Amino acid sequence: MGPLRTRERHVGDLGNIKAETDGKARVFISDDMISLVGHHNILGRALVVHADKDDLGKGGTPASKTSGNAGARLACCVIGFVASSAWTRPDVRLLFAALVIGLLRHRV
Read off the pLDDT of residues 77-95 as tens digits, 9 standing for 90 and up: 888 876 665 555 555 555 5
Strands 73-78 and 46-50: antiparallel
pLDDT at 108: 47
- 1-108 belongs to which homologous superfamily? Superoxide dismutase, copper/zinc binding domain (2.60.40.200)
Given a cut of 50, whether residue 75 has pLDDT beyond it is yes
Domain ranges of the chain: 1-108
The distance of Cα 16 from the centroid of its chain, to the nearest Å, equals 9
> Residue 50: which of 68, 31, 26, 23 has the closest Cα?
68
pLDDT at 1 > cutoff 60: no
Closest alpha carbon to 10 in 76, 64, 60: 64
Distance in angstroms (rounded) separating the CA atoms of residues 97 and 90: 12
Indicate whether 5 pLDDT > 70.
Answer: no
Computed over every residue of the chain, the mean pLDDT equals: 74
The amino acid sitting at 59 is G
Residue 100: its pLDDT value, please? 57
